[in-house]
Amino acid sequence: MQVLVTRPQGQEQGLMAALGQAGYQPCHSPALLIEPLPVTAAMRRTLMDLDLYHGVFFASPNAARLALSAMADLWPQWPVGVHWLAVGRATAAELGQWQLTAEVPASGFNSEAVLALPCLQDIQEKKVLLCRGETGRELLAQTLQARGAEVSSLAFYRRQANPDFHCPPGCDWAMITSVESWHSVVSGLPAGCGVIAAGERVAAQIRASFDGTVITAASAHDDDMLAALPGLQ
């Protein structure tokens, strides 16, 4: 059974290995290209004030890698007392590369799960920094602001559709982890190819424009995407 992984370049290895170990035939073609954005003087001024923030949230491994690189140039030692927040375990692992311990949801690995973290409940007049891509959901920022937090957002990259995306003709399943990824691949899926969608929100968007089989994984985490696949015959 051939399974297409559409994660960005450099983020596919773990899922590809897990698929191979489980007996599937994995292949990889990125749905999106990640373009780093320049760190402006205004962004650096915000990063210089990291010690004033109650929490710093990283929306993806890309956000963590690029943001922490910029922060490290300004902070030879990380500020204390900051809650370092990651959307999921892959992002938390990126923080670990910088000797930071991330607070991460136990499950869910999305904005709703992050909003349930204990440190984000009583945040009236506290500052929260969101490190993210140029586009994405606004739920986290809007909810934190409604709770009384002062929210700042910095974009460290933009996503672009991969013009070289290719799905093999005999592919059985394509793994889609975001709505943006789906928009990039929908026209390139062969007939009969089913979709494994990362969470119900992504699955709902796919079903709105796709007549094929859609299976909803619990989250975008490698283990959940793998567990959603039909068993090998």
Global confidence as pTM: 0.86
What pLDDT digit, counting tens, does each position of 16-30 carry? 999 999 999 999 999
How far apart CA 57 and CA 120 sit, in angstroms, is: 11
Are 113 and 105 contacting, i.e. CB atoms less than 8 angstroms apart?
yes
Are 225 and 214 contacting, i.e. CB atoms less than 8 angstroms apart?
no
Q: Where are the beta strands (DSSP E) in the chain?
A: 2-5, 25-28, 32-36, 55-58, 83-86, 127-133, 150-161, 173-176, 194-198, 214-217
The tokens 């809007």 sit on which residue?
A: 142
Q: In terms of residues, how long is the chain? A: 233
Residue-range domains of the chain with CATH = 2-31+166-228 (3.40.50.10090), 35-159 (3.40.50.10090)
Is the C-alpha dihedral spanning 139, 101, 75, 134 positive or negative?
Answer: negative
What pLDDT digit, counting tens, does each position of 56-89 carry? 999 999 999 999 999 999 999 999 999 999 999 8
